[in-house]
Structures are given as C-alpha cells and as structure tokens.
Amino acid sequence: MGLSMDRPTHRLRGGGMDFSMDELQKAMSDPEALEELKRLTSNPEAMAEVRAMMDDPEFRAQMTAMVDEGGAEKLALVKEQLASNDELGGAINEMGPSLGAALDLLKRSCEDAAALEAACSALLSLVRNLAQRPEEERYRTLRTGSPALRERLTRHAGGLLSLEAIGFRADQEELRAREGRRAEAKEEGGEEEEDLELRIGDEARGAAALRRAEQLIATAQREGRAASGLATEHELPFALCVALPSIRAVIGGDSELASGLTKLLLQNDEFRAVLSGPAAEVALPSILGMLRSQAGLRGVLEYFYPEVATPRGHRVRAVSTVGEWKAAVEAAGDRPLVALLGRADDPPSRMLVAVYNKLSTDPAYAPLDFAAVSVGGADDGMALRVLDEAFVHVNALPLFCFYDAGIEHRRWRLAGADVAELQRRLARVAAGLSQAEIDEGPAVEGE
C-alpha cells in the first residue's frame, strides 16, 4: 500500500484514505463528521484498512516525520479527543495495537539475531497453524507462562504486544484476578508470575488478517537476518543494524542525510569506537534514540562532523553552578524552562547536547527557554550540587526536566535520548499545558 504525506500540512494518505490532522481535529467537534467517524469504526472493511495503514512501516515513519515538522501538538490533541469519546475510544481499543509497531518493539528488544529469529519463528508458527487448522482448539489458545513461549517470545518487550496485535486476548475476569494477585504479591514483597490464558477470537482468524500478519512477521524475520549479515560484515552492533530500516524510513528521500548516515556508520572511526568501546552497551540505546528522528540524526552528524554544522547561534544556557542554575530559572520567568542534565564524560550525552542546541533554534519552540547542565565526573562538586538542587541523581542522566515559574513538572521528566519523544513534549509545552496535562503527564507515543 503506497503512502505519502504532503508537508507541511501533515496530510496522510493510504489505501483509499486521505485526511489531515487538521481535518480530523475539526471532525471531532462537528456532529455530522463525528457521526461519519462512528460509522467508519463500525465498518469492518474500513477498520481493516485503518489497521493495514497503521501496520505500514512507511506510514509510521511519516508520522515521525510529521512530529519532526511540528505536528506533535496536533497529533496529541487528536489522540486526546478520540480517547475522550466513549464510542470512538472503545472502537480503537477493540482494534488493538498495531502489529507493525509491536514488531518494531520486538526487534529493538531482542539481544541478538538468534533471539529475534526464535521470536519471529514462534509467531510465524502460531499464525500458520491458525491459517491451516482454523478449527483446532489447541491453536486458538495459549498460556503466556509456558516456558517455551516465554523463552522464545514473551520475555521480550513487544512479545505479548505482538500476540495481542494478532488477535489473542485475555479473559477480562482473569485479568482482574491477575491484578488482585499482583497487588497481594506486592504487599508481601514478591512479584506475581505472569501466566495468562490468551484466546484468539473468530474475527481475528480471517484468512486476510492472518495472511497480512504472516507477511509482517516474515518481513521482520528477513530484516533480522539481513541485520545479522550487516553486523558481521561491517563489525557493527546487531541492535543498530536491525534498527536501520526504521532509521532509513525516517530519513525518507533526504539523500544528504542518507549519505551522512552511511559515512558515519562505515567511515567515522570516533563513532565506531563509541560503538565498540567499554561503554558501548550503555551508550547504544541513547544513540539509537537520537538516530530514530531526523532532528536527532542531524545533531549526531553535526557532533561528529562539526564542519557541516549550520552556523547559527543556539539558545541553550550552559549551567555549571547552583548560582547559574538559579539565574537560569529566574531569567525564564513565566516562560517554560527545559533543562538537559547530562554527563561530560558520556559520549551519548555529548551528542545529545548537539541535538539539543539545534532544537533550541527551531521557531516552533520559541516560547521555551533552554538550559543544559553537564557533570564532568564524580569529583565535579559544583555541577553535582545543581543536580541536588533539581532532585536528580547522577545515575539518572541524561535527563530532560520541564519547569514553569521555577516549579518542575515531575511527571514530564524524560530519561534517555529519545529525540522524537522530546520533540513531542517540547511542542506540547510550547503550546501551553493545562493543569490536567501537568498532573497526568504526557502519554508516551505508542501507549
């Protein structure tokens, strides 16, 4: 299914659908359009089309690109409006998660090629058995506590989500009972072992749905095998290689970014040293978080190739003492203040500073003030006192904190280097937060 998005109107097209975030947002306040949306959610063929669009990796990449270009606030508002309508929210919940997104999470969480191969093989076996023997009861139910299933699939983030996306559901009474057992186990200082019976409904066992699921899983499996070959050939981490299809999808048709990424991966000795050094296991998740958005990738490229950096001044106030921290808070006044707290001895933190500096120049974030605290090491007492002032432990870095009139919105803290999620939060804070949004915190994309 071909998809395209016209920029900067954030128009999304796919499989006969053609809409923009603005149109969808307006529809939520238009009674006639709202009724049309409700009719859409009750049409199985239309909802199958929606699911197919959600599963398409190009569509998900374009959603990320939309966020890159300032569409995060529109997306957040649309999601909030959809969730607030009982009928529409119920239909969306009934549809379940996107299998494509669940498989993306599964690929990221598998520690190596063998683990991903085993997980995909388990999913393919389930789907093919359902397709070939749809009436056999033993293929319609499974238990998440099965040692074999746990080892191959459900121990990974994205494993259970993939089963749910295929159509396996837990009984609601069993879910409530499990929550009760969890609460009791927590009170006793233990943890309830996950063991649910999942059952696939008749509506999810259609030939077309199973065929699409098989295609998506087989694609993930092929990507895992290709990533394994790349990792071996070019001496790169498997986790980075398996993420390359989604990174390339985010790049889209930007040949300059694509060329820069190739040069970075294959020719930049400093970058490759970070990936193979003693801190590689800790650094890699942060690096991947930056590479999964255009803004993050540009920042990383400018860090390693400063000669190509855009010659523009940034708006980030450097902070290294408590006095400077208090001055930054005071200077912000009534304007929201965003603070990046990182480590000077941590390569991902230094790369993140380059990304952060660039984001501060984006006109979309003009209502915000920016500050950055860089801790040089355990003996950097002055900067560590700033962390104490902000109630942050050094082991939590890198960390983004959001302030308003000197008061931190604790629920909005963002740990790590997920630049796309940072952009979503910056856009929402720049647009102004309601008290309810401050209290509830942001919903992470994909929840």
Q: What is the pLDDT of residues 153-200, one digit of tens each?
A: 999 988 988 998 888 887 666 656 655 655 555 555 555 456 778 888
> DSSP 3-state assignment of 444?
coil
The CATH number linked to 201 is 1.20.58.2190
> DSSP 3-state assignment of 112?
coil
Q: Could you tell me the pLDDT band of residue 371, with boundaries at 50, 70 and 90?
A: very high
Strand partners, 415: 399
Structure-token pair, residue 122: 């388990």
The CATH number linked to 369 is 3.40.30.10
pLDDT recorded at residue 158:
87
Structure-token pair, residue 71: 């569409």
CA-to-CA separations, 273 to 269, 284, 356, 374, in angstroms, rounded: 6, 12, 23, 22
Helix (H) or strand (E) holding 209: helix 207-234
Strand 3-6 to 11-14 pairing: antiparallel
438 burial (CB, 10 Å; 0-12 / 13-18 / 19+) is middle
Q: Could you tell me the pLDDT band of residue 221, with boundaries at 50, 70 and 90?
A: very high
CA distance 286 to 347: 10
pLDDT reading at 10 higher than 50: no
Of the three residues 157, 183, 207, the one that is the final residue of a domain is 207
**55/160 same-domain check:** no
Residue that the structure tokens 């920029």 belong to: 7
Answer whether residue 309 is part of any domain.
no
Answer whether residue 445 is part of any domain.
no
CA distance 429 to 403: 10
**330/414 same-domain check:** yes
pLDDT reading at 300 higher than 80: yes
**128/167 same-domain check:** yes
Mean pLDDT value across residues 336-341: 92
**71/89 same-domain check:** yes
Structure-token pair, residue 255: 């040949």
> Please, which residues have CB within 8 angstroms of residue 3's CB and are 6 or more apart in sequence?
12, 13, 14, 53, 56, 58, 59, 62
pLDDT recorded at residue 124:
95
Q: Is the pTM of this model over 0.85?
A: no
Q: What is the mean pLDDT of the chain?
A: 77
**17/118 same-domain check:** no
What are the pLDDT digits (tens) for 13-38? 544 555 565 666 566 566 776 676 66
Helix (H) or strand (E) holding 404: strand 399-404
Answer whether residue 385 is part of any domain.
yes
What are the pLDDT digits (tens) for 372-420? 988 875 444 566 777 777 777 777 788 899 998 888 898 899 988 888 8
Mean pLDDT value across residues 223-230: 92
**133/193 same-domain check:** yes
Of the three residues 207, 237, 252, the one that is the final residue of a domain is 207
**79/170 same-domain check:** no
pLDDT recorded at residue 446:
43
Q: Residues of the chain with pLDDT > 70: what percent?
A: 68
Cα–Cα–Cα angle for 388, 391, 392, nearest 5°?
85
39 burial (CB, 10 Å; 0-12 / 13-18 / 19+) is exposed
> Please, which residues have CB within 8 angstroms of residue 235's CB and are 6 or more apart in sequence?
272, 276
Number of separate domains in the chain: 4
Of the three residues 148, 181, 207, the one that is the final residue of a domain is 207
pLDDT reading at 426 higher than 90: yes
Structural domain boundaries, residue 19: 3-95
CA distance 427 to 423: 6
Answer whether residue 311 is part of any domain.
no
Q: Considering only 281-285, 287-291, 305-309, which range has the smallest mean pLDDT? A: 305-309
**328/431 same-domain check:** yes
pLDDT recorded at residue 4:
35
Answer whether residue 310 is part of any domain.
no
My answer on whether omega of the bond before 8 falls inside 30° of 0, hence cis, is yes
**8/107 same-domain check:** no
